[in-house]
Amino acid sequence: MSQLRFRFPLLMTALVTAAVFMAVPAASAKETVPAKPVTDLAPGARSAILMDADSGTVVFEKNIHDALPPASITKIMTMLLVMEAIDQGRLKLTDKVQVSEYAASMGGSQIFLEPGEQMTVDDMLKGIALASGNDASVAVAEKLAGTEEEFVRMMNDRAKELGMTDTKFVNSNGLPASGHVSSAHDIAVMSRELLKYEQITKYTGLYQDYLRKDSEKPFWLVNTNKLVRFYHGADGLKTGFTSEAKFCLSATARRDNLRLIAVVMGEPNTKTRNAEVSHLFDYAFAQYTNVPIYKKGDAIGTVKVEKGTKPELPLVAKHSYSILLKKGEAGQGIRHELVLDTSVKAPIKAGDLVGKLVVYRGDKLLKEFPVESPLSVDRAGWWTLFRRSAGQLFLSK
């Protein structure tokens, strides 16, 4: 498929100049990533990864594709499907979730839901994010999909869409089950996707809160992720522990414009787990910075849609676009280009790829970001196409 390319220089101030239509010089076949540290930054972990949340650049990795039991880190995918349903209008935070006997029967960490009890989606998210409620996870799964089994199918479908090839979910909460596995890489990928919903840190970043606050039996929640209280900038995401998985954590922290994701699996205890995640964060915050290209909501460009009910679509940044660079390198010869497919034909769905945003330093490729259609566009009827063609013919004379 042929493509149109638009080049944009990126200044030290990260301001974008006017677009210029021009040829593109040769680029390297593989995107450039920062050099990774030689030493093991997480010696106690069975596997680990450190990633820039905006660009997806991996700064440190250790056995990142080993398929391991993820324990309650599983709930990141559960929360992701909830946030996507809210974003799509299929669910509201104020909706009531009625608890089934099956959901209430979950063991392990729980918020002690009673069969028949009703709780809002908002409170269920608190129960999942802070207290790692196995019962709350099943309750919202049944609310969204009817049964946990159907919800698990949705989880695995979404994992496949995200390229999580090391993952297979068997339940919605991470309780021990044969064949229920994921990897540090895949957990970082789904964590990055969840963080695109900025409001999620309203839940994962809380240290404590209450459920049933106005009832006779208020339930005190304390976040199982102690880093949100003790590490500067930490505001999520999810802990996990079973005797098989050992101590696991997918954590995120933000300072200035740099947000990081650190995942460790198979740690021997909580002290080592928290110390090694803190060490990973310390390393990246000391060494790297983020150079912004577009902020969420910025106009990126326009794509033409052949034979669509809309002849063209404005492209807007659905999330922030930035690249990770070593401190001292930021802005040196950085430029970016919008490369659009020249034959985007209706019908298209919201989220379909229509091009990519390519970032270079000089002639060296640094990063490629997919650019998606913000809206669905149906194929236009023959009368609409006739009027459009007639109008163009008239204007050309």
Any idea which residues carry the catalytic annotation? 72, 75, 132
CA dihedral 17, 19, 23, 26 (to 10 degrees): 50
- Report how far apart, in Å, the C-alpha atoms of 212 and of each of 113, 114, 216, 279, 363 are: 11, 12, 8, 37, 58
Euclidean distance between CA atoms 249 and 187, whole angstroms: 10
Euclidean distance between CA atoms 348 and 346, whole angstroms: 5
| CA-wise closest residue to 351 among 87, 140, 86, 169 | 87
Euclidean distance between CA atoms 50 and 77, whole angstroms: 19
Burial 112-148 (b: 16+ CB within 10 A, else e): ebeeebebebbbbbbbbbbbbbbbbbbbbbbbbbeeb
Contact 134, 109 (CB under 8 A): yes
Using omega within 30 degrees of 0 as the cis cutoff, is the peptide bond preceding 237 cis?
yes
Angle CA 165–166–167, to nearest 5? 95
Amino acid at position 355, single letter = G
- Beta carbons within 8 Å of 219's beta carbon, 6+ residues apart: 111, 112, 210, 211, 212
Euclidean distance between CA atoms 125 and 92, whole angstroms: 12
Work out whether strand 234-242 and strand 219-222 pair parallel, antiparallel, or are unpaired: unpaired
Euclidean distance between CA atoms 7 and 19, whole angstroms: 6
| CA-wise closest residue to 81 among 28, 136, 144 | 144
